[in-house]
């Protein structure tokens, strides 16, 4: 399968804060040389009272895009079951996962074991690290100390 996207951007976009954060991440990717699939922009969002066909169309577009990406970039700053599914699907296809978690706090750093280890212990924890990663491709050191939920 030809990898047409450098990244698939997984993450919630349901509240104003989530939308602002996704907008920021999308902007950084747009300013880079990378081709990034954004589900809400590239697959679309559901209309009010969606039909089963509407739901399946978006679901299938998202899965095809994950299969067509080199890396899944997951914004896990907010809990979102859809993002968890996207991470699991990417891992099942041997697609590397990079996590962005800017709500990380060393005092309250409880995280789901499967999410924490999906990225091999490397987590981008703030916007400066995020910008650095997108500009250079360099992940932070293996600095993720966590307590498992």
pLDDT digits (tens, 9 = 90+) for 99-131: 998 865 555 556 677 877 787 767 888 889 899
* CB neighbour list of residue 41: distance below 8 Å, 6 or more residues apart: 26
Q: How many CB atoms lie within 10 A of CB 78?
A: 17
**Token digits of residue 125:** 């924890």
**Residue 96 has what DSSP assignment?**
-
What is the reported pLDDT for 119?
A: 78
Residues 56-69: what's their mean pLDDT?
96
Largest separation between any pair of C-alpha atoms in the chain? 45
pLDDT digits (tens, 9 = 90+) for 63-110: 999 999 999 999 998 889 999 999 999 999 999 999 998 865 555 556
Helix, strand, coil shares of the chain, percent, nearest 5, are 45, 15, 40
What is the reported pLDDT for 23?
A: 96
């Amino acid at each position: 399968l030809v990898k047409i996207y450098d990244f698939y951007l997984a993450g919630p976009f349901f509240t104003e804060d989530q939308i602002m954060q996704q907008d920021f991440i999308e902007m950084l990717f747009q300013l880079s040389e990378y081709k990034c699939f954004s589900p809400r922009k590239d697959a679309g969002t559901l209309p009010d009272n969606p039909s089963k066909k509407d739901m399946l169309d978006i679901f299938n577009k998202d899965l095809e895009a994950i299969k067509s990406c080199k890396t899944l970039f997951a914004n896990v700053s907010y809990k979102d079951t859809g993002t968890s599914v996207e991470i699991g699907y990417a891992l099942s296809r041997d697609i590397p996962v990079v996590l962005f978690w800017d709500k990380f706090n060393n005092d309250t750093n409880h995280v789901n074991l499967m999410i924490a280890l999906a990225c091999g212990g490397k987590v981008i924890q703030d916007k400066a690290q995020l910008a650095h990663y997108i500009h250079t491709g360099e992940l932070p050191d293996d600095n993720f100390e966590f307590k498992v939920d």
